Structure formats: C-alpha cells, structure tokens
Amino acid sequence: MKNRLPGLHLKAEDFIPATAEEKESLVIMRDSVNFWRDGLRRLKKNRVAMVSLFFILLIMVFAYVLPSFWPYTYDQQIRTSENLSPFTYGEAELERIAAGEKVFPHICGTDKLGRDFAVRLMMGARISLTVGLVCAAIVLVIGALFGAIAGFAGGWVDNIMMRFTDIIYTIPDILLIIIMAMSLKPALEQLVLHKGFLWLQKLGPNMIAIFLVFALIYWVGMARITRSQVLILKESEYVTAARALGAGSARIIRKHLLTNCIGTLTVTTTLQIPSAIFTESYLSFLGIGVQVPMPSLGSLATDAVKGMNTYPYLLLYPAILISVIILVFNLFGDGLRDAFDPKLKD
Amino acid sequence: MNGQDILVEVQHLQQYFPAGGHGKNKRFVKAVDDVSFAIKKGETLGLVGESGCGKTTVGRTMLRLYEPTDGRIIYDGKIIFDSGKCPLKNDDGSDMTDGNGKPVLGKKTAVDMLPYRRRMQIVFQDPYASLDPRMTIGDIVGEAIDIHRSAGSKKERRDRIISLLECVGLNSEHANRYPHEFSGGQRQRVGIARALAADPQFIVCDEPVSALDVSIQAQVVNMFEDLQQEMGLTYLFIAHDLSVVKHISNRIGVMYLGKMVELADSFELIAHSVHPYTKSLISAIPVADPNTARAAKRITLQGDVPSPLNPPSGCRFRTRCPYADEICAGECPQMKEVSAGHWAACHHLDKVDY
C-alpha cells in the first residue's frame, strides 16, 4: 500500500452532520450584561470613584448612624466642661474619673457652651448632607422634567417655558428664603401642634424654607442643561427611527432622551449637592439656616470664626468636613459619568 | 400604470422647510417640489441625485416623518395624507376635472399613522447615529414589538428578536450587546432588523450603504435583495451611487434640486437616458474597462447646484444645462412619456444628444 489514493483516507462518519449539542459547544456566549451592570463593572474599576464612594459611605455612617451610639447628644451642655481642647476633661468630669467612673473623652473638644463638638459635627454633617441630597433630588426631578418637556416640545411651548425660567432666574434667592422663612413660621407652628408633624419642628421653618426655595428656584439650571441636551438628542436619527416605528412622545422622552442625558444629569446632580451645602452654609452664617440648637456644618464654622485665634480646631473640623464632602461628591460624580457613558468605554 | 398593484403613490408632493424670516419675508427651503411617482408591490424604485437634491426628504416625507406642505400620499389604495390643494388624478394619470374644466381637488386628510407605522419602515444612512447608544441590540430590535404590543409574552418577544437577528446574519449572542461594540456593517444589519421587526411591506432605504465599505456594501445590498424575495418587500432605494442603484432597482428616478427629472426602467434609464442631467450622471459612472472608459466622453457640468432657497425660474436645471434657452427660463417642464414607462421632464428632448 505505498501509493494510497487520497480518497481512501476519507471515512463515512466524517460526513455525518454535527449534532445540536456539538454545535452548541462551539458557541461562546458572553455573559449577558445590561446597562446598569455594565456601568457598575466599569465604576468598580475606577479607583478614584471607589475611594470617593467609600468616603461618602463613611461620612453617611458618621452622620446618620454614629450619633445614636454616642454618649453625648448635640444639645447636651456639660457644666465646667466649656471650651475644652480635644481629649481633655472638665473639672466635674475629672472628679468623676477620680471617683473611678469611666468618662467618654471629648475627641474634638467642646464648644463655649460645653457641648461635645464631635457629636455636633456629626449632626452638622447630617443636616448638610440631608439638605444636599434632598435639594439635589428635588432639583433633578423638577429640572429634568421641565427641561425635557420644553426641549422636546420646541416652538412656542419651549419659548414660553424658557421665558418662565428666565423670570424665575431673576428672583433673588436670599430674599425669597427670608420671606418664605418668615411667612412659613406661623403656619408651621400651627401645623406642629397636630399629631404626626412633630418632626417638622425639629427641622425648623428655615430648613423647610430652604427645601421649598430649592424646589422653586434652583431647578432652573438643571432645566436649561436638560433642555439643551434634549434639543440635540431629539434631532438624532435614532429618535427619528423611533418615531418611524410609531413611538409616542412619552416613550421617546423616557426611553431615548432621558437615558441619553443620564451622564449629564448625574454630574449636574452630584454638583448640585455641594452647591446646596454651600447655600445652606451661607444661610446659616446669616442666621437664617437651621434652628438652634441644631447645628449644621456652616453654622459650626461661623460660630468658630469668633474664637478662631484661641480655638482654631473648632473651625478646622467643620471646614475640612465640608471640603471633603464636596470633593468626594465631585469625584464620585465624574466616576459615574465615565462609567455610564459607553462612548468613553475602554 | 394601473391602480391595482400599486403599493405607494405620491402625487404633487411638496416639502418646504421654513428658513427664517417673518410674514411676507418668510423664506423657505424648497426641498421637494411637485414630485409624483408610484411604486408597485414587490418592486424596487431607486432614487438618485446629487447631495441636497431632496432624495432623503422625499423618503421621510412619504412616511410622514415630516408633514408634507402640499400633495397627496396614497398607501395601498388609502389616502394617508392629502393637503386638499392638489387635483385628484384619473386612472390614466391626467388631472381630474369637473364639467367646467376646473380641477377636482382632494379632500383634506391626515390619518393617524400608528397602524401604518407597522407597514412602512425606514433604514437610515448613518448606522452610527441611527442606533440608540443606551439600548441593547435586543431592545432596539424589540422596540417595534413593544410599541405595537405584537408579542404575547417575554419569551415570544425574545424568540422574535433572535429570529430577526438571525434573519439579517447576526446571532442571539448579539442581543445583549450595545451598538458601540459593533462594526458599521453589523450596525446597519441591526438597523434593517429593527425595520423588519414591525413586519413591514414597504421600506424606505435611505442611502443604507453609503456609509459602508465597498466590500460590506455588496453584502448589505445582497441582503436587501434576499429579504425582498423572502418577504415580498417593496423598496424605495435612495442613493447617490448610480452603480448600486442600477444593481438593485427595477426602476430609477432621477432628482435634481427638489424635482423629478427622469423616471424609467433601470436598464432603459442607463442605456437610453434622455434628460441632459441624467446623461451627465451616467457618464460619471466609472467603468472597469480602460478601453471603454477612454472611448466614453465624460460630460462635465459647469457651475454649482443653485440654492434650494431661491431656485431658478422655469426648469431648475437650466443654469447648468447646455441646451437652455428662453423657454426653459419661462416655463417649468412637465413630465412627458418618451417611450412606454419612460418619463422625462425637459423642453428639448428632441435636441438632447451626446
């Protein structure tokens, strides 16, 4: 068998079609990924964003959880322990330690009324964060909806809606906050007497006024940004394609326009959080922020300014905390944008 | 043209876009002006012309993605749009008149398009811009199913999406991916699958291969042909590349500055074109044989396309036409039948000869 014909190498079984199972084994399926899972995967790879997220969570625990376990409360005044430096004790406390009692140290010292500054910082961070988050959420909902509708409708509807935002934009915000705080005060005091509204008292009329003013004024910037995005996106071919398929306006706004604005919306919203915290701080400085004795980071800082030379740490702690909160929210916002924008995907 | 097997027809279609100005000074871009044609069932009508001549606008206006400013659109015997300003047509194509010789106008109509959206679809030119970057391929293809609620269950929806993807040469694995993960040719296939998902009879192919590589162009054009045979589709195939259009079309219409200048069977149009503009277009098709190419004389047109904001009076081609005279400036040429099924709009058909 020296010269075997090539044809003799062939076997009949080589020509049997592959079974479905054999075919299946050759198909390499990638894991099904949806928009959010894909974005989260990319977010996890972004070290800066993850560190920022860690700090945001840390600050949240610090602001919302820790005060409940702290041995002091934010409005508790300890006699003889006024103006203490960190990790020192007042006379009464030293006596108790001498008597063998355990006294929790004042990690950040105390203020001039003898209140533990650490717990006041926590409560201040809580107020500032709450203002930031709630206001950003209000601004996002109102601004995005208003802007999307104006941009999508176009023509005279757009014209009227945008002139309306121009009018809103001209209202001086501090004036409005003062007026609203004044006018809301009697109404709120009445409301608090009813059952179930006690929590309003805790926030104080000024706080509610801040929320309302944010709801009324600060959505304008968001509305303009959303509108400009929608104006670009609604001319895109995929929106035309959706209309050719018979999609209604609501579907196009929901499925195509808002989802494609999400990068801009997240960044603008996260930038809204520090700006709301700033607003709250300067209102506290003017004395129309939160109700005493409730602290906010802004009011803590302004209180400390008076004794800056003697007790600089009282200014330093809230100032650092405000800076860190604003920095991590900005960095995290950038990370979110990178993660949820497939065009920037590596 | 008998009315029986015509699927889509447009009569005196006009589309002016506002271009600034108020009141009397209001200016319009005359993108499409008095265009009439009909497409038979199962046929492919090619539409050619240079950039900005209104081909795309015709396609989109037919689907009422833009509301026509004048004219009538008839789909499958039903009038889906009528401005109420243009005369009805007799069966032989002439304008219908009443006893006094006055034209009989149509009734103003604009039907709800939703039921027609399923039957008339569009494939876009730019596969990079026409897919939503936030949606998976499966959701893009499934959008028509969602809108028209044509799937009873999630499984049925998924099965249909996969069968559509397979129909255009993609597979089920692709359903969970995003558009940016695909090449131009694959994206265009997704665009076609999206159009097919509505289960249409008529598809406007708006320069579907212009943005693709030449090697991919052939694949996609062949796929259009295969789909047409399998599903009995009717196409309006818009392109500016005559060699692609002549390959796929049964008939070809040539447009110049918003007007239809010539309409004929594709072989007839290539071989025996009569309009000077068509002749110059055809002479520009590259020939792969150097001997033929040297022998053929290239007809070069002088000047640029005039602005559609302010088109020339009379025949719109007269500013660049070697035969133009006073008649062309004064009077707008009407479509005339030069031979069976071959229509052209020119005053000097007898003179034109290259």
* pLDDT value at residue B3: 46
Return the residue of A nearest to B148 by Cα.
A246
CB contact under 8 Å between A246 and B180, yes or no, is: no
pLDDT at A22: 76
CA B266 to chain A, closest CA, distance in angstroms equals 29
- State how far residue B30 is from chain A, nearest Cα, in angstroms: 20
pLDDT of residue B108: 80
Partner-chain residue, chosen from B131, B180, B198, that has the shortest CB–CB distance to A245: B198
Contact residues, chain A, for B63 at CB < 8 Å: 244
Q: What is the pLDDT of residue A103?
A: 80
On whether any CB of chain B is under 8 Å from the CB of A12, the answer is no
Hey, what CATH class is A123-344 in?
Answer: mainly alpha
What residue type is A263 in one-letter code? G
B131-173 pLDDT tens trace = 988 888 999 999 999 998 888 888 999 999 999 998 888 888 8
**Helix pair A198-213, A117-153: axis angle to 10 deg:** 50
Q: Where are the domains of chain B?
A: 6-119+200-344, 132-199
The pairing of beta strand B70-75 with beta strand B78-82: antiparallel
Tell me which residue in A32, A33, A343 faces B133 most closely, judged by beta carbons.
Answer: A343
Contact: A238, B63; criterion CB under 8 Å: no
Q: Where are the domains of chain A?
A: 123-344
Q: Which residues of chain B have pLDDT under 70?
A: 1-4, 91-94, 352-354
The pLDDT, as a whole number, for residue A157 is 92
CB B80 within 8 A of CB B8: no
| Predicted TM-score (pTM) of this structure | 0.76
Angle at B237 between CA B231 and CA B239, to 5 degrees: 150
Q: What is the DSSP letter of A246?
A: T
Fold of B6-119+200-344: Rossmann fold (3.40.50)
Q: Which of A24, A229, A240, A346 to mutate to test the interface with B (most CBs of B within 10 A)?
A: A240
Which residues on chain B are in Cβ contact (under 8 Å) with A237?
124-126, 129-130
Going A120 to A122 to A127 to A132, the CA torsion angle's sign is positive
Reported as a single tens digit per residue, the pLDDT across A92-149 is 888 888 888 888 888 888 888 888 888 889 988 888 888 888 888 989 999 988 998 8
Would you call B143 and A247 a contact, using CB atoms and an 8 Å cutoff? yes
**ipTM confidence:** 0.84
Q: How far is CA A86 from CA A96, A117, A197, B32, in A?
A: 18, 9, 38, 81
The stretches in chain A having pLDDT less than 70 are: 1-8, 27-35, 198, 200-203, 205, 340-346
- Listed residue (B58, B99, B332, B305) closest to B204, CA to CA: B58
